[in-house]
Chains A and B, each alone.
Chain A
Amino acid sequence: MIAGSLAKRYARALVEVAASSGELDPVSRELGEFAALLREQRPLRLFFANPSIQRRGKVAVCEQIATKLGVRPLTSSFLRVLLEAGRLGELESVLRAYEGLVDERLGRVKAVVTSAVPLAAETQEQLRQQLQARLGKQVYLETRQDPGLLGGMVTRIGSVLYDGSLKTRLLRLREELVQG
């Protein structure tokens, strides 16, 4: 993993270029799709991490994937830059830094909401408005599912956690009962 400052440096450069062309969010989304593909496809991850494969071949494969995903030229160029610098394995760190910088630039925050079952659009909207009222900033949600929560949901904004899951309530109840 590259240092946070290095990831921020790449992210900051990308933000500047994307902001000038008005592509902040699309680039973020496309980078997220590419990162998810690498996360889910282990052979592909190993291919890009293999030092015995020539970089030219890796670039060709990367461009083919970008074409398949239909990413815009800026995203494709940035992925190529990362690949040629040997930093494609650190795409997740760069992406997190990029999202942070975009949110900061646009004056918004991301709330990662994890629930046991998929949330209704109405509930998501109510939650978003509650969070905006609480933080005084524009909030957008990133939803995830975790059946292990049993019920309720958990919202993480940066380092702050709002935990309303049944799983956590049961754990607290267990601690209280064990402590007597």
Chain B
Amino acid sequence: MARVGGWLRWAAAGCVLAALGLAPALALAAAEGGSEEQGLINLNITILIQVVNLIILILLLSRFLFNPLKKFMADRAAGIERALAEAKVAREAAARAQEEYRAQIVATQREVAALREQAQREVEEERQRLLRASREESQRLVAEAQAAIEAETRRARASLREEVVTLTLAAAERLLGRTLTGEDQKRLAEQYVRDLGGKN
């Protein structure tokens, strides 16, 4: 469109220059044919014809060149303005979209940060919980082991004591069976009778 407008502009200028160049030639031809005196400009019919030609030329140019050219220029300017307006609207829409995108990005970043913080908090809480559970479990196991050891120790001591006592008393029983004399038996019987009487 701009190239067409430029071509028309150059065509109009060429026509004007041709008309301006043709007018002196016509005047010169008229002068050569009409009078003796020749000047730079001779006021005669040639001038009139040239003026009429010029007017006709101007009218023709105005009719077929300048008006379409003006209309073309006006349309072009309107198109440019419309394109500029559309571009402005599009730029504003793009700016709004960009702003929205930026806001969404910021919100998303905040959300991501919040989620990350919550996840870290939950991970830390879980870690602490696992640590506590592990510590409690280990304490419980240690306590159970200590209790089992103590019980086993008590049981072993009791068993050892029982075995020692049993063996000792078995030996004492055998010794008594061998060494008790008739006198001892009599003394024990008398002691029994006395004890029985003492319980009255």
Contact = CB atoms under 8 A, between A and B. Distances in A.
Interface of A: 115-117, 119-120, 123, 126-127, 130-131, 133-134, 147, 150-153, 155, 162, 164, 166-167, 170, 173-174, 177-178, 180
12 contacts: A116-B185, A117-B185, A120-B186, A123-B189, A127-B192, A130-B193, A150-B176, A151-B180, A152-B191, A166-B188, A167-B173, A178-B158
A123 B190 contact: yes
Contact of A134 (B158, B161, B192, B199): B199
B162 A178 contact: yes
B20 interface: no
A123 B197 contact: no
Nearest to B174: A150
Contacts, number: 71
B39 interface: no
B184 interface: yes
Contact of B195 (A164, A174, A180): A164
A178 B165 contact: yes
Given A151-B188, A152-B188, A164-B192, A174 B180 contact: no
Interface string B139-164: 00000000000000000001001100
Contacts of A131: 196
Contact of A170 (B172, B191, B193): B172
B105 interface: no
A153 B189 contact: yes
B188 to A, nearest CB: 5
Contacts of A150: 173, 176-177, 180
B166 interface: yes
B74 interface: no
A134 B176 contact: no
Interface of B: 158, 161-162, 165-166, 169, 172-173, 176-177, 180, 182, 184-186, 188-193, 195-197, 199-200
Given A134-B199, A170-B172, A178-B165, 9 more contacts: A119-B189, A123-B186, A127-B192, A134-B200, A151-B180, A153-B189, A166-B180, A166-B188, A167-B173
Nearest to B182: A117
A131 B177 CA distance: 28
Contacts of A134: 196-197, 199-200
A153 B196 CA distance: 11
A180 B161 contact: yes
A177 B170 CA distance: 14
Contacts of B166: 174
A134 B24 CA distance: 185
A150 B200 CA distance: 26
A153 B166 CA distance: 22
A147 B186 CA distance: 14
A130 B197 contact: yes
Nearest to A127: B193
A173 B169 CA distance: 9
A85 B57 CA distance: 175
